[in-house]
């Protein structure tokens, strides 16, 4: 984290975890984070369903029945919710809840947060092409298809705060986005 020769800084990150901060995250960590995000989306969908049912119940309690949900509608809503969730999370916070739990974040050029457009594009791409994540298994830079296309990266970052500011322009091809001072 700290460049050689710089003044030592106090950090809440454990000593054994400092050496890989800012380096690209691997498939296991990212998959676990995405699974947690899927659970979050599922919880949100359940909450929305229960809220929708509660509204129907309050409107006509005597004839109340749980609303029937078709697979297509459920899938559509789930995809939309997941897209919105990831978009807002990556744009505003730089990481989703699953990434927060696993200590990773999505980084643009020079480790900054994504801008709204690129965050939205990445969220849409990840939701509709989730298998692209597994390209990071064979990628030398641990980049998924979304990372390669949108010039992003997912790095280990156990710090809760994310460098502010959107990514002004996409990084050059082959350049490894990461945190300032990270090994690259």
Partner 1 sequence: MADARTSPGSRVVPRVSPDAQRALDVTLGLAGMTVGAAVVAVRTAHRVTAPVTRLLWRPPLLPRSLHPATILEEAARTGRAEQVALRRRFEVLLDAWAPVLVEAVVERIDLTRLVREHVDLDALVASVDLDAAVARVDLDAAVARVDLDAIAATLDVDAVVARADLDAAVARVDIEAILDRVDLDAIAATLDVDAVVARADLDRVIARIDIVRIVEEVLDAIDLPAIIRDSTGSMASETVRGVRMTGVSADDALSRVVDRALFRRRHPERPGGPA
User: Minimum distance from CB of 141 to partner 1 (Å)?
Assistant: 7
Closest to partner 1 by CB, 53 vs 184, is 184
Closest to partner 1 by CB, 23 vs 152, is 23
Closest to partner 1 by CB, 53 vs 175, is 175
Closest to partner 1 by CB, 8 vs 61, is 8
User: Minimum distance from CB of 13 to partner 1 (Å)?
Assistant: 8
User: Minimum distance from CB of 104 to partner 1 (Å)?
Assistant: 9
Closest to partner 1 by CB, 35 vs 76, is 35
User: Which residues does 56 contact at the CB level (< 8 Å), separation at least 6?
Assistant: 64, 67
User: Minimum distance from CB of 161 to partner 1 (Å)?
Assistant: 7
Closest CA to 38 of 126, 138, 146: 126
User: Minimum distance from CB of 140 to partner 1 (Å)?
Assistant: 5
Give contact residues for partner 1 (rule: CB under 8 A): 10-14, 16-17, 19-20, 23-29, 32, 100-103, 137-138, 140-142, 156, 158-161, 176, 178, 182-184
């Amino acid at each position: 984290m700290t460049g050689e020769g710089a003044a030592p800084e106090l950090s809440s990150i454990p000593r054994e975890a400092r050496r890989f901060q800012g380096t690209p995250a691997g498939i296991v960590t990212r998959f676990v984070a995405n699974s947690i995000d899927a659970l979050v989306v599922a919880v949100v969908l359940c909450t929305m369903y229960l809220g929708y049912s509660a509204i129907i119940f309050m409107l006509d309690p005597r004839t109340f029945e749980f609303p029937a949900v078709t697979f297509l509608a459920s899938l559509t809503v789930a995809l939309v919710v997941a897209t919105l969730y990831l978009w807002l999370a990556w744009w505003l916070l730089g990481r989703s809840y699953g990434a927060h739990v696993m200590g990773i974040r999505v980084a643009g050029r020079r480790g900054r947060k994504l801008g709204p457009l690129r965050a939205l594009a990445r969220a849409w791409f990840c939701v509709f092409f989730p298998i692209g994540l597994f390209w990071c298994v064979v990628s030398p830079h641990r980049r998924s298809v979304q990372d390669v296309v949108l010039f992003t990266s997912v790095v280990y970052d156990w710090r809760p705060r994310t460098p502010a500011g959107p990514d002004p322009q996409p990084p050059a091809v082959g350049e490894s986005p990461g945190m300032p001072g990270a090994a690259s």
